[in-house]
Amino acid sequence: MTRTPETLARHELIGLDVRVVAASNPDLLDVDGEVVMETTNTLHVERADRAWPARDDVPRDGRAGNARATQVPKAGTTFTFTLEDGQRVRIEGERLVARPARRTEHTGDSTWR
């Protein structure tokens, strides 16, 4: 099944471009980048201005400084995802609060699941 605006909340989100368009935490507004990880309650967004460093750029203590993904809570946040065909889809974060594997296995339109 391909990703469509109607089915996006039931699909894998990793790899999609995302932008925070509304959030209960004003510091998260306009966070945008690529979804690199998803947990039950958060999306981890790798921002263009915080890209992962080259191996030689990592300090000797093993920490990569500010080269981490931004952790964005799903609840209380509204996201705009950009699909592969360029369509933009706005989704309330509450619709995404669930374990990713559990969320993607429930389609809601099949009597066999």
Give 34's strand partners.
17, 46
Round to whole Å and give the CA distance between 96 and 112.
22
Q: How confident is the model at residue 112 (pLDDT cuts 50, 70, 90)?
A: very low
Q: Which CATH superfamily is domain 8-52+67-105 in?
A: Ribonuclease P/MRP, subunit p29 (2.30.30.210)
- Nearest CA to 70 out of 21, 37, 26, 106 is that of 37
Could you please report the per-residue DSSP string of 40-74?
Answer: SSEEEEE-GGGPPPPGGGS-TTS--TT-SPEEEES
Amino acid identity for residue 58 in this structure: V
Bridge-based pairing of strands 70-73 and 17-23 is: unpaired
pLDDT in tens, 52-85: 555 445 444 444 444 568 999 999 999 999 999 9
Q: How confident is the model at residue 106 (pLDDT cuts 50, 70, 90)?
A: low
Domain ranges of the chain: 8-52+67-105
- The reported pLDDT for the residue numbered 50 is 58
What pTM does this model have? 0.76
pLDDT in tens, 83-96: 999 999 999 999 99
